[in-house]
Amino acid sequence: MSPVELERYLAAHRRTVERALREILKTPKGRPRRLGEAMRYAVLGAGKRLRPVLTLAAAELVGGAGAVARAVPFGCALELIHAYSLVHDDLPAMDDDDERRGRPSLHRAYDEAIAILTGDALLSEAFAVIAGAAGTLGSGAAGPRRAVRIVAEVAAAAGPDGMVAGQVVDLASERLTDVSLRTVEGIHRRKTGALIRSAVRIGAIAAGASEARIANLSTYGEALGLAFQIADDVLDATHASDKIGRKGGGDAARGKATYPGLLGVEAARRRARRAADDACAALRPFGPRATALSALVRHVVERAA
């Protein structure tokens, strides 16, 4: 798949996700207007929508084009969780970033209290969205089983053994001089990789994939998540602010434990390419149908080349 074809493919799925997110984030009667505005500010606008696009692509891979619509709410739920994580990540008590996606971070555009509460609201709303879509997952006992499994998948990825754990270790590792490569990889796999892995898994589950195919996509998601975060670290280290939506050089300024910090930029790029190779290898059982997902992981790594 050529870069142009990949961008068309991704753009089509992004448009689907954007429409659904705008519908989800309409402020219902009774919700404080300021909260509704802040939720939309945090989610809508610029954004790669990588996680929901992966959910749609995984559903399409195992279930065909007809499975995409079924996967949309679950992909959007992950995007709400991702947005909440960025809002909280930017707070002064965390990474203290004043800019996100080319505009002021939520706590700068509003205030810290609203930023905390908006993050809380987005996390809660994500599970409401999943619950609301549970009835689309099949008749009989199959639908409810898939819905419960998706809830468990998302909770595990976002929770104290997934994304939150990665954030805790990331903060604890700042300015330490003896952080191991194993620790850095663990941070990456949980802080960023857990939601990316979850994205392809819930797309496959929503489409009724076999356990073997879910396992293949899990391996793909783990490797893609690692490649994505290493590439992000490289972009930050090389001050490629236009590609990461925030000011570059922040990781070094905060003493973050990163691949470039431990290995250097070129070695980090090589490690990202190896992770991309692992991701593509996991897709071999799908044959040519996995062309888009293969091209996507290459694109993720090449942006940091």
**Residue 103, beta-bridge partner list:** 100
pLDDT tens per residue across span 176-234: 878 898 999 999 999 999 999 999 999 999 999 999 999 999 999 999 999 999 998 89
pLDDT band at 304 (very low <50, low <70, confident <90, very high): confident
pLDDT tens per residue across span 139-189: 777 788 899 999 999 999 999 999 999 999 988 888 887 889 899 999 999
Considering the entire predicted model, what is its pTM?
0.91
Show contacts of 270-274: CB within 8 Å, 24+ apart: 271/230, 272/226, 272/227, 272/230, 272/231, 272/234, 272/301, 272/304, 273/227, 273/301
Question: In terms of residue numbers, what domain contains 48?
Answer: 3-302
At 159, the amino acid letter reads: G
In the predicted model, what is the mean pLDDT of the chain?
A: 91
- How far apart CA 213 and CA 62 sit, in angstroms, is 8
- How far apart CA 252 and CA 140 sit, in angstroms, is 53
Burial state string for 101-138 with b = 16 or more CB within 10 A and e = fewer than 16: eeeebbbeebeeebbbbbbebbbebbbebbeebbebbb
Three-state secondary structure call for residue 99: strand
Burial state string for 4-23 with b = 16 or more CB within 10 A and e = fewer than 16: eebeebbeebbebbbebbee
pLDDT at 1: 78
Q: Which residue has the higher pLDDT, 26 or 142?
A: 26
Three-state secondary structure call for residue 5: helix
pLDDT at 101: 82
Three-state secondary structure call for residue 104: strand
User: Looking at the 3D structure of the chain, how many domains does it have?
Assistant: 1
* Domain harbouring 214, CATH code: 1.10.600.10
Residue 101 contacts residue 174 (beta carbons within 8 Å)? no
Query: Which alpha helices (H) appear in the chain, and where do they start and end?
Result: 3-24, 33-43, 50-63, 68-89, 106-109, 112-132, 142-158, 163-172, 181-191, 193-206, 211-237, 241-244, 250-254, 259-263, 265-282, 291-302
Closest CA relative to residue 66, chosen from 206, 218, 201: 206
